[in-house]
Structures are given as C-alpha cells and as structure tokens.
Amino acid sequence: MVALAHELFATASVAGRICVGLVFVAAATHKAQHGRIFSGVVANYRLLPRALALPVAALLPPVELMLGLLLLSAQFRPFAEFAAIGLLALFAAAMAINIRRGRTQIDCGCGQSFLKQTLSWTLVWRNAGLTALLLPSLAEVGSATMSMLLTGVAAGLALFLLYLALNIFAALPGMRRFA
C-alpha cells in the first residue's frame, strides 16, 4: 500500500511539473510574440505605475520561459516550483483585484491572443488548480522508476491538452455566462 502511494505521488509530481511547465512555456511564447499588445494588457490591470508596465511586460515572458523549462527539466527543485506557485498566485491576485473593482472586461493577458479571455473567477480558480498540480512536487518523493516517469509525462501532457481544450471552450462566444 505504501509503495502504491509512493508511485502515485511520484507520478503526480512529474505530471504536475510537465503540465505547468508547458503552460508557462506556451504563455511565454505567446506573450513574446505580441509584446506591444502585452504591455498594454499589463498597463490595463492598473496595478503598477504606468512607467513600469513596459518593463514588467518585457520581463514576464523570459521569466515564464525560464520557469517552464526548469519545471520540465526538474532542475532547481523546489525553487522552480515555489517560484511558479508565487507567479501563479500573483497573477490570480491581480485578476481578483480587478474583478473586485468591477473591471472584468479587460483581457486576462494569459498569453493566447487568439483566445482572448476577459477576467473571471474561473481564471482565478484555474490558477489555483495549476498551483495544486505543483504541490506534490514540493515533497521529497525519492527515486522514481522509468515507468513512473513515463506515466507522469503522459499524464502531464494529457493535463496540458485538457488545459488547452478548456481554454478554447471558455473563449468561445457565449461561454462567458458560464465563467
């Protein structure tokens, strides 16, 4: 029973890092491709002085890319997980503050320009879910067998595809009423 729990925990740790790592890499890529638009999105949150919007918008894609690659490679553990959780929490807080202000019509800036999404509690909860995927990685799980690693990678890819599918579904016209 303990061996099964260890195997599930180790697999969940790999799956979470793969999924969230891919989310960060994809977001960084999209944000970097649309840097001018993204700086406007950062400014539109109205949480930073206007002069900081451009530097922050320029800094976020490389930071997200670095964190994504660190999560995918399992390097600098648990620093990468803590940093990713902190960034996800920061994004969720920025969205929550604007939702509380009644500013739900602004673009979330999540990185998928063709799937623009306005702010909603669903996006805040999505970030909480991504954070939860990283929690098993914070514990020391010991060594993992090749089958655990492969299963974790497959599960992480499946979770990432589910994440993409849910984002597409949420961005469809008329879906806003469900968010």
Confidence of residue 55 (pLDDT cuts 50, 70, 90): very high
**Domain segments of the chain: what residues?**
2-178
Quickly tell me which residue has 């539109």 as its tokens. Answer: 44
Q: Which residues pair with 118 in a beta bridge?
A: 107
Pick from 179, 45, 41: nearest CA to 101: 45
44: tokens are 């539109």
Which tens digits make up the pLDDT trace of 56-93?
Answer: 999 999 999 999 999 999 888 899 999 999 999 999 99
Q: How far is residue 129 CA from its own chain's centroid?
A: 9
